[in-house]
Amino acid sequence: MRRVLARWKRSGLTLREFGQQRGIPLSTLTWWRQVFRRAGEPVNTASKSVPSSDVVVFTEVPRPATVPTTPPALEIVLRSGHLVRVPAGADTGTLQQVLQVLQATC
């Protein structure tokens, strides 16, 4: 995160803009910035010399443009207000047992 925040400092962007471009939530960036500030560490310093066994490397992973989702085939609302989402292909015997237990306890 030190490197990410150092890139932000060099970018000239606001923290929000920088995070949006890279798919990093603003809350994550501000939290880490505060962590380093409280520790008295400047955000834009080069990495310190540490033993190789203590080095942690972060790699940015691009967020996929779309995440495939499978909508539930069925939604059941119990009298208690609880919602049960049943995916396509669910085992009917297991579903019956689950519903019986929920109806008895809710």
Residue type, 37: R
Q: Which pLDDT score is estimated for 53?
A: 54
* Size of the chain in residues: 106
Q: Which pLDDT score is estimated for 55?
A: 64
Compute CA 87 distance to the chain's CA centroid, rounded to the nearest angstrom.
23
Q: Are 102 and 94 in contact (CB under 8 A)?
A: no
Q: Which pLDDT score is estimated for 49?
A: 47
Q: Which pLDDT score is estimated for 102?
A: 81
pTM: 0.39
Q: Mapping DSSP to helix (H, G, I), strand (E, B) and coil, where does residue 24 land?
A: coil
Residue 42 carries which DSSP code?
-
Residue type, 72: P
Q: Which pLDDT score is estimated for 18?
A: 93
Q: Which pLDDT score is estimated for 100?
A: 85
Segments making up each domain of the chain, as ranges = 2-54, 74-105
Q: Which pLDDT score is estimated for 21?
A: 93
Per-residue pLDDT in tens (0 to 9) along the chain, 106 residues: 888 988 998 998 999 999 999 999 999 999 888 888 888 766 654 444 445 555 667 778 787 777 666 666 788 888 777 788 888 778 888 888 888 888 787 6
CA count, 13 A, side-chain hemisphere, 45: 10
The secondary structure of 45-95 as a DSSP string is PPPP---GGG-------PPPS-------SEEEE-TTS-EEEE-TT--HHHH
